[in-house]
Amino acid sequence: MGKSLLVVESPAKARTLSRYVDPSFSVVATVGHIKDLPPRELGVDIEDGFKPKYSVISGKWKVIKELKSATEKVDAVYLAPDPDREGEAIAWHVADEVAGEKKAFRVMFHEITKKAVQSALKNPIVLDRNKYDAQQARRILDRLVGYLISPLLWKKVRRGLSAGRVQSVAVRLICEREEEIRRFESKEYWTVHVLLEGGEPPPFAATLLRIKGKKANVPDGDKASEIKKVLEAETFRIKKIEKKRTKRNPLPPFITSTLQQEASRAYRFTPKRTMKIAQKLYEGIPLGDEGPEGLITYMRTDSTRISQEAIQEARSFIKGNLGSDYLPASPRMYKSKKKNVQDAHEAIRPTAVAREPSKIKSFLTPEQFKLYELIWKRFVACQMKPAELDQTRVDIEAGDYLFRATGSVLRFDGYRKLYEETSEAEAKGKADDSLLPELKEGEELERKKIDLEQHFTQPPPRYTESTLIKAMEEKGIGRPSTYAAILSNIRDRQYVDLVERRLMPSELGELVNRLLVDNFPDILNVEFTANMESSLDAIELGQQDWLKVLDAFYKAFEKDLERAKSEMLDVRKEGTPTEIKCDQCKKPMVIRFSAGGPFLACSGFPECKNAKSFDRDESGKIRIREEETVEDQSCPQCDKPLQVKHGRYGPFLACTGYPECRYTRPLDRPGEAPVEETEGQEQPCEKCGGKLIVKRARSGNRFWACSNYPKCKEAKPFQVGVACDRCEEGQFVERAGRNGRLFYCCDQYPKCKNSVPNRPVPNACEACGAPYLLSRFDKEGNPVLYCSRKDCSARKGVKSEPKPEAAEQA
| Contact between 469 and 218 (Cβ < 8 Å) | no
Backbone angles phi, psi at 632, to 5 degrees: 60, 20
Three-state DSSP class for residue 734: strand
| Cα–Cα distance measured from residue 470 to residue 476, given in angstroms and rounded to the nearest whole number | 10
| Cα–Cα distance measured from residue 188 to residue 219, given in angstroms and rounded to the nearest whole number | 6
Sign of CA dihedral 292, 294, 299, 301: positive
- CA count, 13 A, side-chain hemisphere, 618: 7
| Cα–Cα distance measured from residue 206 to residue 100, given in angstroms and rounded to the nearest whole number | 78
**Strand ranges (E), 274-400:** 285-286, 292-293, 387-398
555: CB partners within 8 A, 6+ apart: none
| Contact between 226 and 245 (Cβ < 8 Å) | no
Nearest partner of 327 among 276, 405, 384, judged by Cα: 384
| Contact between 153 and 515 (Cβ < 8 Å) | yes
Helix (H) or strand (E) segment spanning residue 312: helix 308-317
Largest CA distance in the chain: 99
Nearest partner of 717 among 687, 697, 689, judged by Cα: 697
| Cα–Cα distance measured from residue 220 to residue 222, given in angstroms and rounded to the nearest whole number | 6
Annotated catalytic residues are 298
| Cα–Cα distance measured from residue 89 to residue 340, given in angstroms and rounded to the nearest whole number | 21
Nearest partner of 251 among 375, 372, 410, judged by Cα: 375
| Cα–Cα distance measured from residue 218 to residue 202, given in angstroms and rounded to the nearest whole number | 28
180 Rama sector, left if φ>0, alpha if ψ -120 to 50, beta otherwise:
alpha
| Cα–Cα distance measured from residue 424 to residue 388, given in angstroms and rounded to the nearest whole number | 14
Peptide bond into 81 cis (omega under 30): no
| Contact between 278 and 426 (Cβ < 8 Å) | no
| Contact between 90 and 30 (Cβ < 8 Å) | yes
Q: Identify the burial level of 156 via C-beta atoms within 10 angstroms of its C-beta, where 0-12 means exposed, 13-18 middle and 19 or more buried.
A: buried
| Contact between 682 and 691 (Cβ < 8 Å) | yes
| Contact between 74 and 3 (Cβ < 8 Å) | yes
739: CB partners within 8 A, 6+ apart: none
Burial letters 130-143, b for 16+ CB under 10 A, else e: bbbbbbbbbbbbbb
Peptide bond into 684 cis (omega under 30): no
441: CB partners within 8 A, 6+ apart: 238, 239, 240, 241
| Contact between 80 and 250 (Cβ < 8 Å) | no
Strand 103-106 relative to strand 76-79, pairing: parallel
Tell me the sheet residues that pair with 52: 44
| Cα–Cα distance measured from residue 344 to residue 324, given in angstroms and rounded to the nearest whole number | 33
| Cα–Cα distance measured from residue 157 to residue 151, given in angstroms and rounded to the nearest whole number | 10
Q: Identify the burial level of 756 via C-beta atoms within 10 angstroms of its C-beta, where 0-12 means exposed, 13-18 middle and 19 or more buried.
A: middle
| Cα–Cα distance measured from residue 549 to residue 685, given in angstroms and rounded to the nearest whole number | 66
